[in-house]
A = this chain, B = another copy of it.
């Protein structure tokens, strides 16, 4: 499958941002994270895993973006559609790009916004941010939610990358019986599942969560330990693998040998819940509507799991806006990519979590992950 995006895709993103900037009377938006910078430039590298250098992109309201970056990135940035690239030799202990960025911003205007709302992060030191503000006519304010609004809706080209990531994960999940059975330590399952993901075409596997415990698990964020899978366990694997810079994020549950009827019944309810959400996942409904559609089935409306939400947006980040929670009234819109992620209590202290990935289209949802079967697959017990 083709890598990257065509230039018109980036120009369309910039142009959408500029329409919003003009509406909100912003002269430019300043971006600091890998995903934000890549969204407008196509600059794809793992190099920002290193926190040592700040990277900046300035998206002005009336012209093409300007990259203000460490010189080590110049060659790669020059391969993108960005023409205006300004560099400094980083790290610089006394001025790590701050004066170059300030000069760039002053040349554009005085109303500068930066993503500041929920799920946003500032990828530069606070001291430098304060110094930057001190060098500007007026301090940097909010981006008025523009970046969130844009990234909420994926283009078809973005969706097909997420689809590819989902397909890769699907093939890896289908091969779990090759690597997991009673006696296999969980940490070995984790390691070998990542190998399956790579084998099936993942570029990277930045996220793998999971658990294995009798009759369901207690939490879903612990690292793997050396405990061997044991008959009666439920094994859950939840992967955020990446293809060409885009994540999938879904899980699968497996029974090790035989499990009590209650466990199978709980799993069936989860599948019913994701299907119920899928059925109402269309423009006109909201993120909260999806939460309630699942909640009604998994806990009869009694309040939801401690995960606090039953799904979220998905794209260049493992998790994006919106959140499938009672208070999120974000209207579902064509092009939104979401996870459906209900949890259910099996016995006191044990739970199961299901997760699927969908995309909202004009007339309803489409599955990006091929939905889990009602009956949990069995591993050799």
Which residues in A have some Cβ–Cβ distance to B below 8 Å?
Answer: 3, 44-47, 49-52, 70-76, 79, 89-94, 96, 114, 116-127, 142, 187, 190-192, 194-195, 198-199, 201-209, 218-225, 240, 306-309, 312, 317-320, 323, 325, 327-328
A49 near B318 with CB under 8 A, answer yes
Q: Contacting A204 at CB < 8 Å: which of B117, B208, B309?
A: B208
A91 to B322, alpha carbons, bound, how many Å? 10
Q: Contacting A205 at CB < 8 Å: which of B45, B118, B204?
A: B204
A93 near B116 with CB under 8 A, answer no
Nearest-Cβ distance from residue A85 to partner chain B, whole angstroms: 13
A235 to B308, alpha carbons, bound, how many Å? 47
Identify 5 residue pairs between A and B in the complex whose beta-carbon atoms are under 8 Å apart, listed by A's number: A91-B325, A126-B142, A187-B203, A190-B203, A191-B199
A124 near B125 with CB under 8 A, answer no
Nearest-Cβ distance from residue A251 to partner chain B, whole angstroms: 13
Q: Contacting A45 at CB < 8 Å: which of B91, B221, B312?
A: B221
A328 near B126 with CB under 8 A, answer no
Q: Contacting A121 at CB < 8 Å: which of B120, B122, B208?
A: B122
Chief secondary structure at chain A's binding surface: loop
A317 near B89 with CB under 8 A, answer no
A223 to B91, alpha carbons, bound, how many Å? 22
Copies in the complex: 2
Note all chain B residues with C-beta closer than 8 A to A45.
209, 221-223
A159 to B72, alpha carbons, bound, how many Å? 29
Known: A127-B142, A191-B202, A204-B205. 14 other contacts (CB 8 A): A44-B223, A45-B223, A50-B207, A50-B319, A52-B320, A52-B323, A76-B219, A91-B309, A91-B323, A93-B118, A116-B127, A120-B126, A121-B125, A194-B194
Q: Contacting A222 at CB < 8 Å: which of B76, B91, B121?
A: B76
B219 near A75 with CB under 8 A, answer yes
Note all chain B residues with C-beta closer than 8 A to A306.
71-72, 74, 89
Note all chain B residues with C-beta closer than 8 A to A225.
3
B46 near A208 with CB under 8 A, answer yes
Instruction: Name A313's closest neighbour in chain B (CB-CB).
Output: B52
Nearest-Cβ distance from residue A46 to partner chain B, whole angstroms: 5
Assuming the contacts A72-B306, A93-B327, A202-B191, asked whether A221 and B47 have C-beta atoms less than 8 A apart, the reply is yes
Assuming the contacts A50-B318, A116-B127, asked whether A73 and B323 have C-beta atoms less than 8 A apart, the reply is no
Nearest-Cβ distance from residue A100 to partner chain B, whole angstroms: 14
Nearest-Cβ distance from residue A86 to partner chain B, whole angstroms: 15
